[in-house]
Amino acid sequence: MPSAPHHKAFHEFKQNLEYARQIVEGGRMLSRLQVGSFDVDDLYRAAWVQAVAALDHWVHEEIYHRAVVIAQQPSSTTKPKKFLSFEIPMGLFEEVSTGLVSLEAGLRSHLKKSLSYRSFQHPAKIKEGFALVTDLPLWEQVARVLTAQRSDGNRVTSSDLIDKLAKIANRRNKISHEADRNPDLPGAKMSIQADEVQDVIDLLETVGAAILETLDGGSAPTSSQSVSASPSPALQLQRVATSERAQRFNELLSRHQEEAPTIALLLERWSKLGGSITYSDRGEPSCLPMLDGEDFDYWAITIYPFTSKIHVTFDYLSQRPPFDDVALRRELLRRINAIPGVTLPDDSISDRPTFPIAALRGEGGNILWEALEWFSSQIPRE
């Protein structure tokens, strides 16, 4: 397998964004000096274009790397649909099969020839590009990651995120192709402010990190084994993850040698069900198996490997229909209490009770999965 150049690519992405920030700061300094020999706002426009170009370049590099990694995986059952339909010339097939070039070098070169002319700036194009390396619904998953990172409890929706990114890309195009001219004021340019550009740069960096977290932690490895099965290479936790949250969680979870494979497979099943896996580091590293409902995001449990606890989020669910119905929360409680050794109190259906991760040994993992599967069936979907 190749090394992880996407670590390097993301670092380069951040460096390019930092360069954009330096351009903004240079504009601020010249503005304070009241330079009048040229339009200082053009520096802010340059920074805007630089930031979008940084995103475009990083998306290309990320796709190249991940496609090569996927190609070197032995099984085709877990590979993205678009990857499996990606065309390669017979000449490249011959060169690889005869050993003239390595699969890694040959495929990467072909990917660059095929994709280098494409622009990954507009959210629709970015989603289309990443479809080559993931079947996950990109912007829905990224929105969930961003929601989990917020401290104000407000939900980031995929539609709002797509709208913001589209406006950023469109403004970049107006700057590059139309000199940012104001159609309502002949001879004048559109207004642009330093703080406005700074917000764009910060947003692109945040979104890039959320994309990376989605790609690295959006789903667990695939297997047809039961939840209580022994670990196999395909079920090993991803120890090399660019997402710091996912990496911290996985490192802590790996200390639970008996339960880690069970949890990994449970998360895999949740992903297959249409859910997402969100990592958080509020207080301590944790993992939330989430499902996007019609009006809200839902999760029934939060896994905390450091304290070896699983929290049942009755307090949160009590504010989300249909789980504001006491009867449904009691049914979820009954199903979780069917796990051997788990006896959550009857009056905990408005609180956040916990049970030990060790309870997932034996049949505990399968019973918890059945409870989560029932839970997901109650959620109103879009």
Residue 102: band (very low, low, confident or very high) from pLDDT cuts 50, 70, 90: confident
pLDDT value of residue 239: 31
Phi, psi for 79 (deg, rounded to 5) = -85, 145
More confident residue, 227 or 151: 151
Q: Where are the domains of the chain?
A: 5-217, 233-377
Higher pLDDT, 230 or 253: 253
- 304 Cβ contact partners less than 8 Å away, ≥ 6 residues apart: 284, 285, 286, 310, 311
**Measured distance CA(204)–CA(212) in Å, rounded:** 12
Amino acid letter, residue 178: E
Answer yes or no: is pLDDT of 44 > 90.
Answer: yes
Q: Look at residue 223 and tell me whether its pLDDT is greater than 70.
A: no
289 has pLDDT over 60 = yes
Please give the backbone phi and psi of residue 191, each rounded to the nearest 5 degrees, phi first.
-70, 145
Q: What does the pLDDT read at residue 241?
A: 33
Is pLDDT above 70 for 236?
Answer: no
**Per-residue pLDDT at 99 exceeds 90:** no
Average pLDDT over residues 112-129: 91
pLDDT of 222 strictly over 60: no
Inform me whether the pLDDT recorded for 238 exceeds 50: no
Q: Which of 52-56, 272-276, 370-374 comes out lowest in average pLDDT?
A: 272-276
Please check the confidence at residue 218 and state whether its pLDDT lies above 50: no
Q: Check: CB of residue 59 under 8 Å from CB of residue 134.
A: no
The three-state (H, E, C) secondary structure of the chain, written as one string: CCCCHHHHHHHHHHHHHHHHHHHHHHHHHHHHCCCCCCCCHHHHHHHHHHHHHHHHHHHHHHHHHHHHHHHCCCCCCCCCHHHHCCCCCHHHHHHHHCCCCCHHHHHHHHHHHHHCCCCCCCHHHHHHHHCCCCCCCHHHHHHHHHHHHCCCCCCCCHHHHHHHHHHHHHHHHHHHHHCCECCCCCCCECCCCHHHHHHHHHHHHHHHHHHHHHHHHCCCCCCCCCCCCCCCHHHCCCCCCCCHHHHHHHHHHCCCCCCHHHHHHHHHHHHHCCCEEEEECCCCCEEEEEEECCCCEECCEEEECCCCEEEECHHHHCCCCCCCCHHHHHHHHHHHCCCCCCCCCHHHCCCCCEEEHHHHCCCHHHHHHHHHHHHHHCCCCC
**33-37, 86-90, 238-242, 257-261, range with the lowest pLDDT:** 238-242
pLDDT at 365 over 80: yes
Q: What is the pLDDT of residue 73?
A: 77
HSE of 193, CA atoms in CB hemisphere, 13 A: 3
The pLDDT of residue 323 is 94
Region 161-168 average pLDDT: 94
Choice between 378 and 273, residue whose per-residue pLDDT is larger: 378
Mean pLDDT score, 230-256: 59
Poorest-confidence range of 4-8, 50-54, 62-66?
4-8
> Per-residue pLDDT for 235 more than 60?
no
Averaged pLDDT, 39-60:
93
Rounded distance between C-alpha atoms, residue 52 and residue 167, angstroms: 11
pLDDT at 220 over 80: no
So what's the pLDDT on residue 228?
Answer: 42
* Measured distance CA(66)–CA(292) in Å, rounded: 26
pLDDT one-digit tens code per residue, 54-89:
999 999 999 998 888 888 877 666 788 888 888 888
Chain mean pLDDT for the chain: 84
Please state, as a whole number, how many other Cβ atoms lie within 10 Å of the Cβ of residue 270. Answer: 22
Return the structure tokens found at 205: 């960096």
Which residues, 6+ apart, have CB-to-CB distance to 17 below 8 Å?
51, 54, 201, 204, 205
Higher-confidence residue: 334 or 252? 334
* Res 320 pLDDT > 50: yes
Residue 104: per-residue pLDDT? 80
Distance CA 331, CA 352 (A): 16
pLDDT value, residue 95: 82
Q: State residue 301's pLDDT score.
A: 96
Q: Identity (one letter) of the amino acid at 201?
A: I
The predicted pLDDT at position 335 comes to 97
Q: Quick one: average pLDDT of 221-228?
A: 36
Regarding predicted confidence, which is higher, 219 or 381?
Answer: 381
State yes or no: pLDDT of 370 exceeds 60: yes
Beta bridge partners of 286: 280
- pTM, rounded to two decimals: 0.57
